[in-house]
Structure 1
Amino acid sequence: MGQIIGPQTSHAAWNALENILSASSKARIMQLSLAFETTRKGSLTMMEYILKLKTLSDNLATIGKPVVENDQIF
């Protein structure tokens, strides 16, 4: 949090905070995208498998990176 204490204006503080959070958001997007792309049914029931993919897709949509329909179908 030291990065947002130094700025002189609220605008600069918001920009500093955005920079801090965007790095973690990018990491989260990569983590969720990889999980979505590599999820396999394996020993999961069909309902568990679909629910897992839907949850990952919903989480990506929530953070502003929705999974396109073609990728959901594939």
Structure 2
Amino acid sequence: MSWIYSSLTGSVMVRIVGLTTAFEVWTTLGRNFVSANNNGLLDLEQSLQDVSKDGLSVQEYVIKGKDLTDSLAAIGEPVPENKQVRFFFRGLGLEYNVFVTSIAYRPDQPSLEDV
């Protein structure tokens, strides 16, 4: 229990005052943070759907999308690679339509890294 107490901030510590077992502490913390993760999940998913190149370089755009998919994976909601490719294509803009069409309709779908 002392390890748990020493690793928590004061704002989290108040949520477990009076609990006496590690099981109670972990259960309480889990309940408290699941709703926070669900809100974060919705925000991250929406951001990924809305991400667009919009004046960014291609490298900046890829990094922005990768940061979002990495954040989703970090909270236990990994985005499959085929969906990552679709999100990437969706946000590129009209000037990339020829490129997107040439890749999207290939029988062997390339990885995100290959794209």
TM-score (norm 1): 0.86
Indicate which of 23, 30, 35 corresponds to 1:18.
Answer: 30
**Amino acid across the alignment from 2:80:** V
Number of aligned residue pairs: give it: 74
Cross-structure match for 1:50: 62
User: Which whole-Å CA distance do the structure 1 matches of 2:52 and 2:73 have between them?
Assistant: 21
- The answer for unaligned runs of 5 or more in structure 2 is 1-12, 87-115
How far 1:42 moved relative to its partner? Answer: 1.1
Taking only aligned residues, the RMSD between alpha carbons, in angstroms, comes to 1.4
Cross-structure match for 2:10: none
Cross-structure match for 1:60: 72
Runs (4+) of structure 1 moved beyond 2 Å?
A: 6-10
Larger Rg belongs to: 2
- The answer for unaligned runs of 5 or more in structure 1 is none
More helix as a share of residues: 1
**Amino acid across the alignment from 2:17:** I
Identity over the aligned pairs, expressed in percent?
Answer: 32
Q: Is the 8 A contact 1:5 1:13 kept in 2?
A: no
